[in-house]
Structure 1
Amino acid sequence: MGRWVHTWASAPQLTEPENLPPHARDGLVLAGSTLRQTVRVSAGGERLRLRFSNAFGTAPLRLAAVTVALPVDGRAGGSAVVPKTLRAVTFHGRPTASVPAGAQVVSDPLEFSLADGAVLAVTLRLAEGLDPAGVTSHPGSRTTSHLAVGDQTGRAELTGATPVEHWYLLSGVEVEASVPVLALIGDSLTDGRGSTTNHNDRWPDQLFDRLGGFAVANQAAGGNRVLNDGLGQNALARLDRDILALSGVRWLVVFEGVNDLGTAPAEDQEDVAADLIAAYEQIAVRAHAHDILVYGATLTPFGGHDYDDPAGHRESARQKINTWIRTSGTFDAVLDFDQAVRDPSNPRRLLPSYDVGDHLHLSPTGYHALANAFPAHLLKA
């Protein structure tokens, strides 16, 4: 018998208007609709629990029905599930739940066998409308979800479904297992921009495929910053909710800061670098208080991207930060992601074969390089 650990997670964000489901954009909100989402877990188990977040809701989130199942062919992003695997999820023994604004809800434990790396389909129906300005979601799902009218939570195949490239409301899957959790806080480079939709080839996914024996809670958010809000709350503000409150966390990877550099004026880079270093220390102190080992990752190159100012102020700040990460001793270990993906002949830039094309984000091959650069001994329980 193990303990409850997060085997999948997504950082809650306030949904921007352009990322709302089509029904919400048409003024129908999500009332009475069925939403089927697929997620790829890391560590498996024989019992699971789900977490739904209303962190940014302005009204109660009312779940009318929730089911889980295994998708057809075990693939992510599909709308069809294997009928014999369909199971109803309950909350305090009831099929419904009301989640107050700003809160989350954890489902009852459910006997449901999940293999390591399996894909799980979670289908929910909302009983009442949500305020379109307060829908909690994770836009950077890199996974196709499906929205259909009416109650189709018990159907193997949705009828008249509309695909949407986001996750909504679902913020965690837990399993009962005897494994430690690797949690990650970061931006789009960990959220997986440049990875393949429905293929789960972000670098944390590829790291799990390479090593296994642990669970992964990826709490990265595209466009996120450490110091200031942007796309999602800043990392310092969300650390308690997204990392320290998770169950079973043994290690934390901090791989974030490039958006702080890129969005600050070039002439302010010296101050931004100093503030980032102070913030990294704060993250380490707060995580260490929970007996979590903290691994710091160096910032990867962005030469040729819009962040790369002609005078090189941001590059200078990146180098200053990376030197500090490597030498300060603040972190329990260093992940030298900069070294893993930079072009040896032009270290300000990504190796061309790793560059997805914008000179900032990585291709699946580049994310494979990050996964391979993670020393295996750092994930020994």
Structure 2
Amino acid sequence: MTTTWIAAHRTAVIDPDEDFALFQSRGFTDQTVRQTLRLAGGGEAVRITLSNRYGKKPLEIGGAHVRGDGIDAPLTFDGTGTVTIPAGGDLVSDPVEEPVAAGQVLTVGLYLPGDTGLTTFSAVPYDSGWAAPGDQLTARTLRDAEEVPTGHFGIGADVRAPEGTRIAVAFGDSWIEGAATTPGLDNSFPSQLGRRLPRGWIVNQGVSGNRLLTDEIGEHLLARVDRDVLAVPGVSHVLIHIGLNDLGLPGHIAFPEPGELPTADALIAGLTALADRLHAAGLTVVGSTIGPYRGTVYDGYDSEAGQAVRRAVNAWLLGEEHPFDGILDVAAAVADPAEPDRIREEFDSGDGLHVNDVGAKAIAEAAELSLLRL
């Protein structure tokens, strides 16, 4: 059987030095950092990916290790256990020649002997990580460890799977990334949808706070296409949710003044350009309606102007003129029937902007599996 490398876990990353920061990164000095990930699919071997994309200086890795069910092995890079990732660079480990399965949780440990500076990071990791002093790579239990709630170095994984294995990339904002779902349970709506698929799987490239048209939290979606979709091995389908932050963040940032919002025509043009770019690469593209957010607790985020634009864009997405191969009606799956601009109470995470685990499940169950025929 011929095999090839297929992405089984991805973590989209943001720059710690952005002008407007919803989330705070951090650095590490002479510390061991452990972070976990869950594989969306399995194969006969696994390799780990790391990123220093937004680092201001080279990142020195003094050692790396991976643990999981049936795996307890050092990670090497071109045969050596130590490596330096240049500023702006990414790195892929040598293969760990052990079989891995869908749903398997791996813990990746990195010993960072120098001062990393603020690191390339993500706001919503699979689960909380840990940092401990010194080189504790082989320790079963970290001594004097501190919890790290954010993800660092864009840790991902590829698996060696049968050639022809196809996957989807979930691409977009916090509703894709799974903000407000329970850490460690892999309950974002793309993950729950992925567990429904009869073959293939979904990897997550969501960025909380991300926008379609404007750099703010992470590069805007159109700028992320090459790196976060086209470069993902095995991708054949893309599932998109975007637009909330284009409508809400301008008002939140400007509060108590009103923010300058994009028009419905601008968002429609951006979504069309995104679909065209992905279609040009031969991918199947599934769009989704913009989720509800009436009454969110974030000052200035909810405005009448933004709600009007959202309704207009959603009407276009549910019509006959959009360029997508299919539409997942995210809004209808979680909206309050009595007030469709608001999340149903049982699906609300508590902030009026994000869904909880049950809400994410409702979105996953609303998807027609024929949209993701992998």
Q: 1:208 touches 1:216 (CA, 8 Å); kept in 2?
A: yes
**What's the counterpart of residue 81 of structure 1?**
none
| 1:19 to 2:11 alignment | no
TM-score, scaled to structure 1 = 0.89
**What's the counterpart of residue 31 of structure 2?**
33
Which stretch shows the higher mean deviation, 152-161 or 51-60?
152-161
Q: CA deviation at 1:212?
A: 5.0
| 1:299 to 2:299 alignment | no
**What's the counterpart of residue 315 of structure 2?**
323
Amino acid at match of 2:51: S
Q: 2:336 touches 2:345 (CA, 8 Å); kept in 1?
A: yes
Gaps of 5+ in 2: 252-257
Gaps of 5+ in 1: 25-29, 72-83
Q: 1:31 touches 1:127 (CA, 8 Å); kept in 2?
A: yes
Q: 1:183 touches 1:217 (CA, 8 Å); kept in 2?
A: yes
RMSD of aligned alpha carbons:
1.8
TM-score, scaled to structure 2 = 0.91
**What's the counterpart of residue 314 of structure 1?**
306
Determine the C-alpha separation between the residues in 2 that align with 1:31 and 1:359.
Answer: 38
Q: 2:66 touches 2:106 (CA, 8 Å); kept in 1?
A: yes
Q: Percent identity?
A: 34
3-state SS of paired residue (1:175): strand
Q: CA deviation at 1:142?
A: 5.2
Cα gap change, 1:267 to 1:20, in 2 (>3 Å): closer
Determine the C-alpha separation between the residues in 1 that align with 2:41 and 2:68.
Answer: 15
**Equivalent residues in 2 for 1:171-186 (5 A)?**
171-178=155-162, 179-186=165-172
Q: CA deviation at 1:229?
A: 1.5
Determine the C-alpha separation between the residues in 1 that align with 2:202 and 2:137.
Answer: 27
**What's the counterpart of residue 156 of structure 1?**
140
Q: 1:142 touches 1:192 (CA, 8 Å); kept in 2?
A: no
Determine the C-alpha separation between the residues in 2 that align with 1:187 and 1:32.
Answer: 33
3-state SS of paired residue (1:160): coil
Residue of 184, 188, 195 corresponding to 1:202: 188
Amino acid at match of 2:154: L
**Equivalent residues in 2 for 1:321-360 (5 A)?**
321-327=313-319, 328-360=321-353
Q: 2:76 touches 2:82 (CA, 8 Å); kept in 1?
A: yes
| 1:372 to 2:365 alignment | yes
Q: 2:12 touches 2:122 (CA, 8 Å); kept in 1?
A: yes
3-state SS of paired residue (1:5): strand
Q: 2:288 touches 2:327 (CA, 8 Å); kept in 1?
A: yes
**What's the counterpart of residue 254 of structure 2?**
none
Q: 1:226 touches 1:279 (CA, 8 Å); kept in 2?
A: yes
Q: CA deviation at 1:152?
A: 1.3
3-state SS of paired residue (1:279): helix
Determine the C-alpha separation between the residues in 1 that align with 2:293 and 2:215.
Answer: 21
Higher helix proportion, which one? 1
Amino acid at match of 2:341: R
3-state SS of paired residue (1:32): strand
Q: 1:261 touches 1:314 (CA, 8 Å); kept in 2?
A: yes
Amino acid at match of 2:268: I
